[in-house]
Amino acid sequence: MAAKDPDRRRRNAVDAVRASWIYTTDRTARTAPATQASPVHIDYWINRLGSERDYKTEADLMAAAETALSLEMQRRGRAGAETRRRNKAAKQQEAARLAASA
Each residue's pLDDT tens digit, 3-39: 688 999 999 999 999 999 999 999 999 999 998 899 9
Alpha-carbon distance 29 to 38, whole Å?
A: 15
CA distance to 4, 5, 9, 12, per residue, from 1 (Å): 9, 12, 11, 12
What pLDDT was estimated at residue 50? 87
Each residue's pLDDT tens digit, 39-93: 999 999 999 998 888 899 999 999 999 999 999 999 999 999 999 999 999 999 9
Domain ranges, ordered by start, for the chain: 37-102
Alpha-carbon distance 30 to 14, whole Å?
A: 18
pTM assigned to the model: 0.66
